[in-house]
Structure 1
């Protein structure tokens, strides 16, 4: 899932009075993952990690993350046995 805004994540962390390390422990994620998301160095994580972060912050996951949607169009005709 893609983080909507590192600023929003930092604000939620500050509002709860958590450090990156404490949020990492509460969400069963690493301190470095939390730090990278909060600084914008990393913009995405797995849906499971995103849910755990949101739950630890007591916010809906949609307040922080949106699903990543692929823009790649794949030609599936060959896979389905249809000649190209």
Structure 2
């Protein structure tokens, strides 16, 4: 599964799940959803996944960006930029 797939289909997943993605974060990054984790990094099948966002944030951001007349790719890129800002805080 990749980040694009999760973001495109966010509405089909429970909002409480967490997204972890392989860095550098792009729409093609491998990504997973987990129920809960206190770790900022997960290792599965020799791949390092870093915490990206809570799926509930994707719901909120998509509502915000859908009012701005952006194409899906631009909305998803903004979500990546938001996650990067959250990581640096």
Q: Same fold (TM over 0.5)?
A: no
Q: Which has the higher contact order (CA 8 A, sep 6+)?
A: 1
Interval containing the TM-score (normalised by the shorter chain): under 0.3
Tell me which structure has the larger Cα radius of gyration: 1
Q: Comparing both structures, which one devotes a greater share of its residues to helix?
A: 1
Q: TM-score, normalised by structure 2?
A: 0.25
**Higher strand proportion:** 2
